[in-house]
Structure 1
Amino acid sequence: MNYRKYLAFILIIAISLILPAGCVFLAETDRVADEMYQVFYELGYHDFFSFYERNFGLAVDDKFTLPDYYRLGDRQSIKMPVMAVVENHPRSRPQAGLEEADFVYEVLSEGGITRFLPVYYRDLPEKVGPIRSVRDYMGVLSAEHGALLLHAGASEGGYARISSDDVISLDEISRSQYYWRCSDRRMPHNLFTGNDKIKDYLGGLDWQQDLSVYKFNFSKRDNPTVAKAEKIEKVDLFYWGNYLVSYRYDQSENSYARYINNEPHKVESGQQLTADNIVVLHADTNVIDDVGRLSVDLDSGGKGYLFNNGGKQEISWTRNDGRITLLDDDGQEVLIDSGRTWIQIMPISARVEYN
C-alpha cells in the first residue's frame, strides 16, 4: 500500500477509536468491506480493479487480492493466509482439512510419497493434518502466498529456505502448544492443528498483511478459460512408482472428483475431495542425497496443463519476482476459473494421460 495512504488509514482508525463515534465508524467499515466483497464477487478479479481504479484512484502497484472472493461462505477472514504441510503416506489417510483449502499443492517428497500444501485464505477448519516436516521447495510456495507455514521440523534446506525467504513459520518442534496428537493414530502420522490453535497464535503476532500477496489471477464466473471443444472426462497423473492420482469430471457439478490409485480420495469427514481447476506443472526433480531428499526446480519454468470446465489447455509456466505465472501458446497469461484449485507439481518425466 502507498506509504501515505497507509499512514492516513492508521490515523483515521486511531481517531475513530478515541472519539465516541468510533463504534459507528467501525460498523460502517465492516459494512463497506462486505459490500466490496460482493462487488468483487460479481465483477471478477480484473473488472473489479478497473472499477476500483476509476472510482477510488488505486494505483497499479497497490493492487491486491481479496481472499476467497469466489466462494463466499460462513467462514470468516483470518489475519493472514496459512499454508500447512500435510503428509500423504498411506497411514496418514484419511487426512483432515484438505476439503476447506482454497488451493492445494501436491508435490513429491522423498520415497516417492507426495505431500500436500493446502492454503487457506479464510479460517482454518477445526482440524488440519497430519502435519509433517517441510522441504526447501515447499518454503518457496509458502513465500509466494505470504503465508504462515505450519510444519513439524524441516530438512536442512527447508530451514535455510525459511530463514532466507523470511517465511513466517510455526514449527511444532519449538511451539508444540499450537498442535496436538491424536491417540487413534500412530506417530508420526497423528499430529494435527486447527483454527482455534492458529487464531491464538495469530492474535499475538505483530504483523500486517502485504496487500501485494501473490495469488493466481482468476477469470469471471461466466467466462470460462478453457473451451470444451475437446471434452476430457478423466485425467491420470503418474507421479512415481505405483502412485496414481486421478480426476474424473462430473458435468452436472462442473468439477472433478479426486482419486488415489483408483479409490476415491476422502477426508476424515467422509467427503470425497473435488477440484474446479487442476493445474499440472512439470518441474525438474532430482534426488540429492542418500536419504532420498529431492530438489524441485521452481525457478526455471516448464510445461504443463490446465484442466477445467471439462476441457484441457496446454500451458507453460514461469516464475518471476517470486510468482508463478501460467502462459498460453502466445505467451499471454492464463486466467484460472473461479473455484477450488489443485496444483499438481510433477517431475518432467512423469506421465499425464487424459481421455
Structure 2
Amino acid sequence: MRSSLRRRAGSLIVGLALVAGLGACAPEERPLETASPEPSVEPEPTYESTYEAPPAYAIAPLTGEIIEPGSLDRPVFSAKIDNAPLARPQLGLDRADIVHVELVEGGSIRYAASWHSDLPDEVGPVRSVRPMDPDIVSPFGGILAYSGAQQQFIAAMLNTPVRNIIFDRGDDSDLVYRGLPRPSPHNVVARAAQLVERYAGDDAPRQQFAFADRIENATAARDGAPASTLSLRYGQVGQSGWEWSEADGRWLRSQGGQPDVALSGTRLSATNVIVLRVRIDFSPGVPQTLLAGQSGSGFVATDGKTIPITWSKAGMADSYRLLDDQGVAVRLAPGTTWIELVPDTGDATITAG
C-alpha cells in the first residue's frame, strides 16, 4: 500500500515538473515596435563669392599702355612739323605718341609726328610733305595735316589710306591757319582736336609694335648693353642727340648741343628711341628716305640700354618689323617712341654708360 502511494506521489511530481518546463518554453511578450524618427538634416551652408573678375582693359595702339576699352576709338592725327631754327620751339610736339625724324633738303631734319593717346588742341608749325611721308604715315591711317608740297608729292600722299588736310585748300582750311607769331612759312597751326572731332568716325590705328608689359621686360632693357648718350648726324645741319636720365626714366633730346624744348617748356623726351639706318634717293629732287620694300640695321634704346636690330618694312601701309640678333621680335616699353631715320652715310654713335 505504501509503495502504491509512493508511485502516485512520484508520478504527481513528474507531472508538475513537466508542466513547469512547458511554461518556461512559452514565447515572451514583447512591446510593439514603433518607427524610428527621421534624422534631422542640416541645410547646406551658402557662401557668398568674393571673387571679382579683373577689369577689362585694352592696349593703346601707338604706345602699348593699358587703357580702358573704347577710350581711344578715334583716328590718329599726324602732321608734318617744321624744325628750322625759326620754327622752334614747336607746339604740341612734346605730347606726340610717335615722332619720325627724316632728312630733308640742305642736310636738315623735319618731323612727321603722330598723336593718338594725348591729343593737343593745336600743333605746329605745320610744313610740307616729302616723298617718304606716304610710307611713314600710311600704317597709322587717320588724318595728316600739312602745308602743301610739289604736286607729285601731294598726288602720292592723296593715294594713301590717310585723310589729307592741306593748308589753304578744301573744306578743312578753317582748321589749318597762320596762328604763330613767327615769319611765314614757320607759323602755320593745325587745330588737331577739332579735326579729330570732325572725323571721329574714321578708324582708329592698329597696334604698330610689339610691346612688353612694363619697361624692365622690354627687349633692350632686359638684354641690351648700358648706354648713356646717343649721337646722331643726318647731314651738316641735322645733328641731334639723346641722353639717358635715370631720374626721369626717359631719354632726353638735344639739338645743336642744347636741350630740345617744346613751346610748353617741356623738354622733348621718349621712352624708346629707334634708330634705323636707311638709304637715301636724291632723284626726286629732294632727299627721299627709302622705306617700303627695304630692310637694314639699327638699334633700339630703352631704359638706358641699347640692343642692335635688323628692320624691314614690306609695303607702304605695313608697320616696321624689328628683330634682335636671334630673329625674335623686339618688344618696346610702354610709352612714347621716336624713330630716327638716319642715312647710311650719316653717323649714329652710342656712348656706353
For 1:183 and 1:277, the matched residues in 2 are separated by 30
Q: Which amino acid aligns with 1:338?
A: P
Q: 2:123 aligns with which of 125, 128, 147?
A: 128
In structure 2, do the counterparts of structure 1 residues 177 and 317 end up closer, same or farther at CA, with 3 Å as the change threshold?
same
1:176 Cα shift? 1.7
CA apart distance, 1:157: 3.6
1:197 CA drift (Å): 2.9
Q: How far apart are 1:209 and its partner, in Å?
A: 4.0
CA RMSD of aligned residues (A): 2.4
Residue 307 of structure 2 corresponds to: 313
Residues 1:216 and 2:209 are matched in the alignment: yes
Q: TM-score, normalised by structure 1?
A: 0.75
Cα deviation, residue 96, structure 1? 0.8
Out of 341, 348, 352, the position equivalent to 1:352 is 348
Question: Deviation per CA, 1:191-224, whole angstroms, max 9, x where unpaired?
Answer: 0113443145325xx53447xx251121110413
CA offsets per residue over residues 97-125 of structure 1, 9 Å max, x none?
Answer: 11111111111122222111111113521
Instruction: Letter of the 1:306 partner, please give it.
Output: V
What letter matches 1:334 in structure 2? Answer: V
Change in CA separation of 1:196 and 1:276 when aligned onto 2, cut-off 3 Å: closer
| Residue of structure 1 equivalent to 2:174 | 177
* 2:335 is the alignment partner of 1:339: yes
Tell me the amino acid that sits aligned with residue 320 of structure 2.
Answer: I
Given candidates 317, 324, 328, the residue that maps to 2:324 is: 328
Cα distance between partner residues in 2 of 1:200 and 1:110: 34
2:76 is aligned to: 81
In 1, the alpha carbon distance for the partners of 2:152 and 2:336 equals: 30
- What is the distance in 1 between the residues matched to 2:224 and 2:108? 35
Describe how 1:148-297 pairs up with structure 2 within 5 A: 148-174=143-169, 175-182=172-179, 184-203=181-200, 207-209=202-204, 213-221=206-214, 222-226=216-220, 227=222, 230-289=225-284, 292-297=285-290
Q: Tell me if structure 1 keeps the 8 A contact 2:209–2:331.
A: yes
CA contact (8 A) 1:179 1:197 kept: no
Task: Name the counterpart of 1:70.
Answer: 65
2:81 aligned partner, one-letter code: V
Q: What is the Cα deviation at residue 260 of structure 1?
A: 0.1
Query: Which has the higher relative contact order, 1 or 2, with Cα contacts under 8 A spaced 6 or more apart?
Result: 2
Distance in 2, Cα, partners of 1:86 & 1:110: 15
- Using the alignment, how far apart are the partners of 1:166 and 1:69 within structure 2? 23
Deviations 1:206-265 (A, max 9, x none): 53447xx25112111041311376321111001111431110111122211100011000
CA distance in 2, matches of 1:276, 1:352: 18
Matches within 5 A, 1:49-64: none
Q: Conserved in 2, the CA contact under 8 Å of 1:228 and 1:309?
A: no
* AA in 1 matched with 2:341: I
Structure 2 Cα separation of the partners of residues 319 and 199 of structure 1: 28
- 2:239 maps to a residue whose letter is L
Contact 1:257 / 1:274 at 8 angstroms: preserved in 2?
yes
Distance 1:173 1:140, change over 3 A: farther
Q: CA deviation at 1:337?
A: 1.2
State the one-letter code of the partner of 1:171.
I
Q: What secondary structure is seen at the aligned counterpart in 2 of 1:301?
A: strand
Secondary structure of the residue aligned to 1:36 is: coil
* Alignment-derived partner of residue 50 in structure 1: none
- Counterpart of 1:146 in structure 2 is 141
Asked whether the equivalents of residues 123 and 195 of structure 1 are also in contact (C-alpha less than 8 Å), the reply is no
How far did residue 294 of structure 1 move? Answer: 1.5
Q: For residue 279 of structure 1, report the CA deviation from its aligned partner.
A: 0.1
State the number of aligned residues: 290
Aligned-partner SS, 2:301: strand
Could you list the runs of 5+ residues in structure 1 that have no partner in the other structure? 1-31, 46-64
CA distance in 2, matches of 1:167, 1:143: 6
Q: 2:56 aligns with which of 26, 36, 45?
A: 36
Shift of 1:68: 4.3
Say if 2:142 and 2:204, in contact at 8 Å, map to a contact too. no
Q: Per-residue deviation at 1:331?
A: 2.0
Equivalent position SS for 2:90: coil
Structure 1 residue 183, shift from structure 2 partner: 5.2
Q: Give the 3 Å change call, closer, same or farther, for CA 148–280 of structure 1 in structure 2.
A: same
Return 5+ residue gaps in structure 2 as ranges: 1-52
Q: 1:97 & 1:353 partners in 2: Cα distance?
A: 28
Question: What is the distance in 2 between the residues matched to 1:194 and 1:123?
Answer: 14
Distance 1:323 1:187 in 2: 34
Does structure 1 conserve the Cα–Cα contact (< 8 Å) formed by 2:104 and 2:110?
A: yes
Tell me how far apart the structure 1 counterparts of residues 56 and 64 of structure 2 sit (CA, whole Å).
Answer: 10
- SS of alignment partner, residue 305 of structure 1: strand
Distance in 2 of aligned mates of 1:302 and 1:66? 24
**CA-to-aligned-CA distance 1:135-167 (integer Å, 9 cap, x gap):** 121121111111311111123342232233232
